[in-house]
Amino acid sequence: LSSSLQDSEAWATDVMRPAADAMAGKGLVLHSAPQFVMSSSTNDFPLTVTNSLAQTVHVKVVVFSENP
């Protein structure tokens, strides 16, 4: 490969790395207890999303119960 093509490929890799990491599940980690006991139909529960990406992100967490 020519030097300029290698430089272009390296640049593209660097530019795409944050998106590739995010799509691969790197950079965002969801922390929660494996199970909860809820005393009513609506409760707050501890949940933390850690973002180690360089970009600010907005997340939506949807929780489903095994019990009705």
The answer as to whether 45 is a domain residue is: yes
The answer as to whether 56 is a domain residue is: no
Q: What is the pLDDT of residue 5?
A: 64
The answer as to whether 24 is a domain residue is: yes
2 band by pLDDT with thresholds 50, 70 and 90 = low
Has this prediction a pTM greater than 0.85?
no
The answer as to whether 64 is a domain residue is: no
- Residues with Cβ < 8 Å from 57, sequence gap 6 or more? 22, 28, 51
Tally of domains in the chain: 1
68 band by pLDDT with thresholds 50, 70 and 90 = low
Q: What is the pLDDT of residue 25?
A: 67
The model's pLDDT over 7-66, given as tens digits with 9 standing for 90+, comes to 878 887 777 777 776 666 677 888 888 777 778 777 777 888 888 888 788 888 777 777
